[in-house]
Amino acid sequence: MSELWQLGLDELSACVARGEASCVEAVGASLDRVAAVDDQVGAFLSLRSEAALREASEADRARAKGAERGPLHGLPFAVKDNLVSPDFETSCASRILRGMRAPYEATVLARLRKAGMVALGTTNMDEFAMGSSCENSSVKPTRNPWDLARVPGGSSGGSAAAIAAREVPVALGSDTGGSIRQPAALCGVVGLKPTYGRVSRYGLVAFASSLDQVGPLTHSARDAALLLGVIAGNDPLDSTSLDAPVPDYTSELSGSIAGLRVGLPREFFDAKGLDPGTREALDAALATLEELGAIPVELSLPLTEYAIAAYYLICTAEASSNLSRYDGVKYGLRVPGDSLDEMYLNTRSSGFGGEVKRRILLGTFVLSAGYYDAYYRKAQQVRTLVRRDFEAAFERCDLIATPTTPGPAWPLGERVDDPLAMYLSDVFTVSVNLAGLPALSVPCGRSGRLPVGLQMIGRPLDEPTLLRAADAFLERTGFHRDVPELSGTTA
C-alpha cells in the first residue's frame, strides 16, 4: 500500500473502509506531510492540528459503532482563506482582516462537516482573491511544488500547491476568473469551477458576486466528483443558489466518451503568446481524446478577444462595492485618526495591499457618473454576447476543450510589476465566469518539466459530462499520479 499522504480522496476512503488505516492515521499523515514540506511550499496559513486529530478520533469511534456519515467521514480537507468559520481565522490573506473570526460558518464547510470531514487548516491566497500568482498575499508567497522558484498560480495558489505537494487529499478554492483552474493547471492537479449557483456562496467572502464560485481542487476527476456531490445543491441562505437536483456525479464516471463531440475554438489555439511546449502537450491531449472515441469539432468563439477587458471592468466594479464594508468600524484592522474620515483613510491605506487598491480604484472609476455607461454597462453587454457565443457553440458540441493557461508557471517576481502580463495569464479562463458555465482543468503533460493544463468547458449544470471526460482522459494518461520531488521526508 502507498503511504497514506500519497493517496487521493477516493483511494483514502477505500483504505479506511477496508480497515487498513484509521481516520486518525489519515489525518495524521496529512499533518506529518505538512510538517515535512510546507516550510518550502508555504501552502498553509493556519493548522488546527489538535482539533483535527480530536475530530478524527471521534470519527473512528463513530465508524466502530457503524455510525459513519458516509464514505468521507473522518477524512481531511483544506480550506481557502476566504471561507468563514467560527473554528478558525478568516483573513483573505489581508492585513485588514487579520484576526477576524466569523460567528457563522460557510454553507460548503457545514456540508463537509455534516459528511464527517475534518478541516485541516486554511490555505494561502492572493489578497481577497485578487491575483494570479499567490504573490499578493500579505502573509507570504506560496511556491510551486514542481519548481520552488516559480509561482503556483492564483488566487487559490495555496490550495493548488497543497494538493500538488500531497499535503492534503482535497482542498476548497474559489474561482472568479480562473482562480481554481489556473493554479490547478500550473501545479498539475484537477480544479473544478462549477456552474454559477451550483454551489452556495454563503460564507464566501465576496470579491465579485456575479462571478465568484466555490469548487474543489483534487488529485483526480473522481475525487472532484466525490466532493462536488457533497457541496452542491440549493441553499436558501444564498439567493443566487440554483434550485436543481444534485446527481450522483461518481455514477456518471463510466470511462467511455465514445461519440462525445469536443469543440475546439480556433481563437484559443491560435492565440498569440501560446507557449510552444504548452501547445505540444495540448495537441497530444486532443489526440488522446480522439483515441478514446471523442469527435473533434472546429468552431469559433469570436467574442473571446473582448472577454478579458469586460471581465476586468465588471470584477473591479463589484470589488469596489463589496470591499467598501472594510472601513475599521465594526471588525478587522482599525488605524486611528483625528476624524472619522481620517480613520477610514488610514485603515484602508494600511490594510489593503497594492493590487486590491488598484482594483478598488478601477472599479470606483468605471461606476462613477459619466463613465458608467461607457464602461460598466458596455462590459455587461459584452458579457451577454460572450454567453450567446457559448450557447451557439454548444449547439454543435458537447464540451469545449482549450488551454487553461497560455504557458506554464513563471518565476516568482517576474510579473509583480507588470499587472497587464499578470492579468493575461487568465485570458483563457475569464470568459467561462462571464457566461456562468462549469469548467475544469486537468493535467495533460509538460512544457519542459512544468505541468500544463487542459481546460474542459460544459453546458450549464453539465458537470457530469466534464467529469466523465476528465476521468477517462486521466485514467488513460495517468498525469494526475505524478508527484513532485520535494526534499522533505515524511515518516
Candidate list 155, 159, 220, 431, residue with the active-site label:
155
Using CA atoms, how far apart are residues 450 and 147, in angstroms rounded to an integer?
Answer: 8
Using CA atoms, how far apart are residues 428 and 264, in angstroms rounded to an integer?
Answer: 13
Q: At what angle do helices 23-41 and 9-17 cross, to 10 degrees?
A: 150
Using CA atoms, how far apart are residues 485 and 221, in angstroms rounded to an integer?
Answer: 23
H-assigned helices in 327-462:
340-351, 354-367, 378-393, 419-423, 430-435
Q: Is 251 noted as a catalytic residue in this protein?
A: no
Q: How many other CB atoms are there within 10 angstroms of residue 346's CB atom?
A: 17
User: What is each CA distance from 456 to 27, 30, 204, 375, 453, in whole angstroms?
Assistant: 32, 30, 25, 30, 10
Q: Is 80 noted as a catalytic residue in this protein?
A: yes
Using CA atoms, how far apart are residues 335 and 323, in angstroms rounded to an integer?
Answer: 17
CB 21 within 8 A of CB 4: yes
Sign of the alpha-carbon torsion through 391, 397, 403, 404: positive
Look at the block and give the residue holding cell 452556495.
200
Using CA atoms, how far apart are residues 466 and 459, in angstroms rounded to an integer?
Answer: 9
Candidate list 13, 22, 30, 80, residue with the active-site label:
80
Q: DSSP state, 172?
A: E
- Determine the number of helices (DSSP H) and then strands (DSSP E) in the chain: 16, 11
> How many Cα atoms are found within 13 Å in the side-chain-facing hemisphere of 18?
8
Burial bucket for residue 491 (CB in 10 Å: 0-12, 13-18, 19+): exposed
From the list 190, 251, 257, the residue with the least C-alpha distance to 224 is: 190
Q: Is 114 noted as a catalytic residue in this protein?
A: no
From the list 164, 162, 185, the residue with the least C-alpha distance to 80 is: 162
State the first-to-last Cα distance of the chain, in angstroms, to the nearest integer.
Answer: 14
Using CA atoms, how far apart are residues 219 and 208, in angstroms rounded to an integer?
Answer: 28
CB 141 within 8 A of CB 155: no
Candidate list 179, 220, 431, 441, residue with the active-site label:
179
Omega before 155 within 30 of 0, i.e. cis: yes
Q: Which amino acid is at 255?
A: G
Q: How many other CB atoms are there within 10 angstroms of residue 284's CB atom?
A: 14
Cell of 6: 500519497
Using CA atoms, how far apart are residues 439 and 71, in angstroms rounded to an integer?
Answer: 25
Q: Give catalytic residues, as residue numbers.
A: 80, 155, 179
